[in-house]
Amino acid sequence: METATGSFKQLAATSRRFAQRLLTIGENRLELLTVEVQEERERLLHAILLALGVAAFGLLASLTLTAAIVVLLWTWSPLAVLLTLTGLYGAAGVCLYRRLTGLLRDWQTLSATLDQLRKDRACLEKNLE
């Protein structure tokens, strides 16, 4: 009877340690997730603000350059100047669009958290087999 009680106590202690470790791992992963979400939010806000600044000043610069070129070449051929500038701006827009779609396709959100969760699952599967 004494060995059954000792075995039960040992099993309960082992189960308690396992549960505590599992909760600690879960807490660590949750902390990692919150840190990564905060970093992603700050990075995204910074990227949006930079993009808005680039767009605003790029637009101002291109408008000024366009006006200067049109005024300079107006006597030669106004239609040719406007069509050439339209083609150049269109090509730049297509190039930027392709870069943006490439960036969005390769975007990985919370990669460190997902990687840790995969490692945890593999470790648990290995230990439970």
Length of the chain, please? Answer: 129
The structure's pTM equals: 0.49
Mean pLDDT value across residues 33-56: 88
The ranges assigned to domains in the chain are 2-128
Helices 111-128 and 2-73, axial angle in degrees (round to 10) = 160
Mean pLDDT on 86-99: 89
Mean pLDDT of the chain, nearest integer: 83
Q: Which long-range contacts (CB under 8 A, 24 or more apart) does 59-68 make?
A: 62/89
